[in-house]
Amino acid sequence: MNDAKKYTRRHFLQDIAFGGGGLIIIGTYGFRILKDNSQNLIKAISVNFEKCAGCRTCETACSAFNNPILIDGEKMNSLGNPHYSNIKVYHFNPDIDIPVTCALCEDPPCINACPVSPDLITGRKALYRHENLTIINDPERCISCMQCAKACENLRGGVIHPNPETNRPEHMCTLCDGNPQCVENCPFGALEYIEIPADRELANLAPAKIAERLIEKLYNLNV
Amino acid sequence: MAIKGYYGKLLDINLTTGEINKAVIPEEDIRRFIGGRGLGTKILWDKLPGPGVDPLSPENALLFMPGPFSGLPIPSSSRTCVVTKSPRTSAVDPKFEKGSTISYSNMGGFFGPEIRFAGYDGICITGKAKNPVYIRIEDDKVEILDASKFWGMGTEEFDNALIEELGDRKFESTYIGPAGENLVPMACILNTAARAAGRGGTGSVMGSKNLKAIAIKGSQSPQLGDHKSYLELLSKVRKSFRDDNKESLKWWRYGGTANALASSSRNGTQAVKNYSEGTFTDIEKIGTEANREKIWKRDFACFSCALACKKSGIAKGSYSVMVHDGPEYETGTMLGANLLISDLAGLQKLIAVADDYGIDIISVGNTIGFLMEAYEKELIDKDYLDGIDLKWGDVAASLEMMHMICKREGIGEKACNGVKFMANEIGQDSHEFAIHVKGHELAAWNVPVNSDYWSITYATSNRGACHMNGGSPERQDQAALRDSLAACNFASRWYRDDLSYAKFLTSITGIEWTEEDFNKAGTRIFNLEKMFNYREGFNIKDDVLPPKFFENKFTVGDHKGAIVDKTIFNRNIKEYYKLRGWDIKTSKPNDNTLKDLDLEFTII
């Protein structure tokens, strides 16, 4: 399995370097589908960097749904200030926009890094994978050490950040009760909610790394 | 408690004293002037001690105004309007030495929404910092910081340098380039290294305050008046963007306004060879197809927009350059067709250099075109141009002139003031082909074909010649409303009937905005601007067209022979004043008109 991964990573880099055919459409590349420990297929948000136009509608939709407000006792979408969204779009110059969201990784470094010992009954750490595959923080057991955020930052997209008030990790993807609002509202069809192929992790890099590679491919004056 | 949907708060910064105020915006002003362009003009009116203030003095105010739609994910409705007193305009018979019109210029991108996220309905800058500074805003925390090390930096480099300095890519920013720093009157303000509040000299006002940039981010949201109906409207309009006007959506994504390069040329409505012609025979070389094939790599959208009319890519050939945006219709025409330039990589280089300096491409393209015509007619020679052989179609010569203008070197020291100034300098009846109104250069839409529309559009625009103004009172008022809401003109076709702007504004404020109230607000805003100008000494003598349009006939294309009929223009403009309720001898809005619009305070 490790060999397969290495091969894929090299192949990916070659594609970028030589500009050959390697559309970075995560999800249409590779064969193996990710599974969690219980062998459930992992469905998550897949970004098509070719299509994203950087409008940040996904941020507003995510924020509005995941931070609802009460109006006359009724729970409703908020106005969706992107500050609170789980998905983040980063602008880069030369022009490229990189949406980054929690990948619900097959081997979540965030959970692996959580130092809180597993609960004897549920087997859950303070950060754990829910039956619906999302990554959940248990605020009662969490010790705010932020090892999860560091692991995500160092090994994956760097999406987890502490809540400034509670100091608990946030911005893990919730999948919006099974109907991800970023996908639903993207005007460009750049986001999909699909079973994630094994090579997804290759693109699940820090936004600056993804940008660097795309910029080299798109805007190289010397090619 | 502010009106719902607003914070009722203006971030008011005096750079002379370093004072930072979170000032209350009177509720009544919000009701009357909405936001953006309208509310900005009212605040400017209040800020200025009276007419005749030097636009580049510390007394002038520079306003960054989002609208009530900014930052809400209402599609294509988060523009930012920059409002100030224009450093570009002057009256035919000046009443004040520094008398000038209102200036408003709006830009897409991401800056306006972030002003709202930080909890403000606008930012007002007055005074002048001792040394170059930039302003860093994070919600309530506002800091004025040293920008000496950034002074002189082009916008391309600065766009990245600022993010590095801030250490947080989620800041949105707006800034000037060297042209603004050098107080080039036609300098502009940009964000994302390409999107510009291009017109009316906004950048030189910012430069005169020693202000390089504003960077902002925030975590606030206003409270809406009727949240539930807002959500319903939002979901309907999002559906409409998915299902309706599909061809239009495709058109915007395919080429943006660059699509109009070919069609306008065909229709004889393009500025070609300093407005001598309406058709450019080489237009295909710089049009959408050529760009799709050779240059553009990606489409980019502004905040919460589905149109993605900005195109980026890479140009190679005679010049190699990163393309952030271009050509679109205005830049492609003013630095392309208007100068008879059809070398696509050369055109891209010109656009990129102009954006890097931060200069209004419409005005600078118009000015270079004017000089080319004066040079061709031998009213000026190569010595006058510091050795530049400024021939039609010459990219290298145009580029050299651009550098001189932006650096204010040699001939550029004069030429940076635009065509009205240059016509006075050169004399010899060169004013006949100096294509400006009130000192502000015309844009890329030529006048003779559809002259009824375009002559009123340009002659009556409050910031001096403006292609976005509209050719009738009704269209002008609608444009003023869009600019006040922060809505984008290009997406207006989606906002009709059940999804009208007035309906959105009603849900946001919880105050019933009938179509009638709403339209009246547009009329009110336009009249306030008119009174601003009237107070500054502008009257009927200033609502004119450049003489060339009455004298020059097109010689190329399907509209050969097209010319503007002066009698018809004079009749149309009288008709226009009548419709407006303005005096047909002076163009001054009648007192009753002003009273009816709740503009008593402007009556002089």
pLDDT digits (tens, 9 = 90+) for B319-363: 999 999 989 999 999 999 999 999 999 999 999 999 999 999 999
Q: Say if residue B274's pLDDT is above 80.
A: yes
User: Does residue B428 lie in a domain region?
Assistant: yes
Do B189 and B292 share a structural domain? no
Interface test with B, best of A62, A77, A91 (most B CBs within 10 A): A91
pLDDT, residue A79, reads 98
Residue B201 sits in the same domain as residue B82: yes
User: Taking residues A68-90, what's their average pLDDT?
Assistant: 97
Across the strands, what pairs with A191? A47
Provide, as residue numbers in chain B, all residues whose Cβ is less than 8 Å from the Cβ of A206: none
What is the Rg, in whole angstroms, of the alpha carbon atoms belonging to chain B? 22
Sign of CA dihedral B180, B186, B192, B194: negative
Whether residue B209 is found in the same domain as residue B337: no
pLDDT of residue A200: 58
The continuous run of DSSP H or E covering B455 comes out as helix B451-459
Residues 6+ apart with CB under 8 A from B589: B527, B530, B531, B534, B580, B581, B582, B583, B599
Question: Within this chain, do residues B103 and B194 fall inside the same structural domain, yes or no?
Answer: yes
Is A220's CB within 8 Å of B314's CB? Answer: yes
Q: Give the pTM.
A: 0.94
pLDDT at A13: 37
Q: Which SS3 state, helix, strand or coil, does residue B226 take?
A: coil
Q: Are residues B286 and B396 in the same domain?
A: yes
Q: For B533-588, write each residue's pLDDT tens digit.
A: 999 999 999 999 999 999 999 999 999 999 999 999 999 999 999 999 999 999 99
Q: Is A93 on the interface with B (CB under 8 A)?
A: yes
Tell me what pLDDT residue B580 has.
97
Number of domains in chain B: 3
Q: Which of B441, B472, B507 is the last residue of a domain?
A: B441
Beta carbons of B303 and A187 less than 8 angstroms apart: no
What per-residue confidence (pLDDT) applies to B279? 98
Q: Measure CB to CB from residue A218 to each of B192, B298, B320 and give the nearest one.
A: B298
Is position B227 within any domain? no
Domain containing B154 — which CATH number?
3.60.9.10
The boundaries of the domain holding residue B568 are 451-602
Distance CA B14, CA B70 (A): 25
Whether B467 and B371 map to the same domain: the answer is no
User: Is B105 domain-assigned?
Assistant: yes
Q: Residue B49: is its pLDDT beyond 90? A: yes
Residues paired with residue B589 on neighbouring β-strands, in sequence order = B582
Residues B300, B414 within the same domain: yes
Domain of B580, CATH number, reads 1.10.599.10
Averaged confidence pLDDT in chain B? 97
Domains and CATH numbers, chain A: 2-218 (3.30.70.20)
Pick left, alpha or beta for residue B36 (phi over 0 → left; psi -120 to 50 → alpha; otherwise beta): left
Who contacts B562 (Cβ-Cβ below 8 Å, separation ≥6)? B268, B278, B448, B449, B451, B553, B554
Does B223 reside within a domain?
A: no
Percent of chain B with pLDDT over 90: 99
Tell which of B217, B233, B264 closes a domain.
B217
How much is the pLDDT for A36? 72
Note whether residue B239 is domain-resident.
no
pLDDT at B378 over 50: yes
| B428 shares its domain with B467 | no
The shortest CB-CB distance from A60 to any of B298, B304, B308 is to B304
Q: Tokens at residue B46, please? A: 């209040």
Phi-psi region of A114 (alpha: psi -120 to 50; beta: other; left: phi over 0): beta
Name the residue type at position B351: I
B156 touches chain A (CB under 8 A): yes
Tell me if B241 and A187 make a contact (CB, 8 A cut-off): yes
Q: Determine the residue among B169, B228, B321 to mutate to test chain A binding: the one whose Cβ has the most chain A Cβ atoms within 10 Å.
A: B169
Give the Cα separation of B180 and B548 in Å (integer): 31
DSSP 8-state code for residue A48: B
* In-domain check, residue B578: yes
- Within this chain, do residues B480 and B588 fall inside the same structural domain, yes or no? yes
- Over residues B190-216, the mean pLDDT reads 97
Tell me the chain B residues in contact with residue A66 when contact means C-beta distances shorter than 8 Å.
none
Same domain, B297 and B149: no
Average pLDDT over residues B291-317: 96
| Domain final residue pick, B217, B237, B265 | B217
Asked if residue B56 and residue B192 are part of one domain, the reply reads yes
Q: CA-to-CA distance for B480 and B579, rounded, in angstroms?
A: 17
Residue B510 near residue B516 (C-beta atoms within 8 A): no
Same domain, B93 and B181: yes
> Is residue B226 included in any domain, yes or no?
no
CATH number at residue B291: 1.10.569.10
Q: Using only C-alpha atoms, what is the Rg of chain A?
A: 18
- Say what the pLDDT of residue A201 is: 47
Note whether residue B415 is domain-resident. Answer: yes
DSSP, collapsed to helix, strand or coil, labels residue B354 as helix
